Chain A
């Protein structure tokens, strides 16, 4: 059973479109992170959110932590081919266990 479910699992969009990726759980998390992984490489941290309702922006990427700290979203504005990759959410639950989500594979077509 996956503690962190991501949706959609696969996403293919045209350059310039907007998209949102979701990370959901029935458990409460002390903090939540988003990573991006490119083919043949390890994941790289994009952002960490720790407060319920927190919103962080990283250029065209907007991350939100749910008010109840059970979910998060990643919104990309005007997607670029360089945004292509596997997006993973990861959370530290209140029992100090760390989990990665199921992943969303994004392809941005030029």
Chain B
């Protein structure tokens, strides 16, 4: 199994540009999570999908952030326009059912730098 795949691994962009992060979950997993990790705020849950439907997006910082899951094997997190404070490592994770006792499998992350 290839695990959770994220692309790109690194992204450097300028303030105001649109950024799109991509994630392919583990095949057969029904839940997908997007997280942001910074030194100051730790690992924060941004949004959670179950069966491709957004269940909880209360962690999405503001309207500049949007996430989609058009099918069971692909999700995107978009930031438009990007700002320097969006610089962080963004992780995608997937799990079988999304329940709290389930194992979440994390991707390697995308390190985003907004200049």
Contacts and interface: CB of A to CB of B under 8 A. Distances in A.
A62 B43 CA distance: 23
Contacts of A110: none
B45 A98 contact: yes
A86 B39 CA distance: 12
A100 B101 CA distance: 14
A43 B106 contact: yes
B108 A40 contact: yes
A31 B103 CA distance: 12
B107 interface: yes
A45 B100 contact: no
Interface in B38-60: 42-45, 48, 56
Interface of A: 2, 29-31, 33, 40-45, 48, 50, 88, 91-92, 96-103
Given A40-B108, A41-B108, A100-B44, 15 more contacts: A2-B42, A41-B106, A42-B4, A42-B107, A42-B109, A43-B43, A43-B104, A45-B103, A48-B101, A48-B103, A91-B100, A92-B100, A98-B45, A98-B48, A102-B42
14 contacts: A30-B100, A30-B101, A31-B100, A41-B106, A42-B4, A42-B109, A43-B104, A45-B103, A45-B104, A48-B103, A92-B99, A92-B101, A100-B44, A100-B45
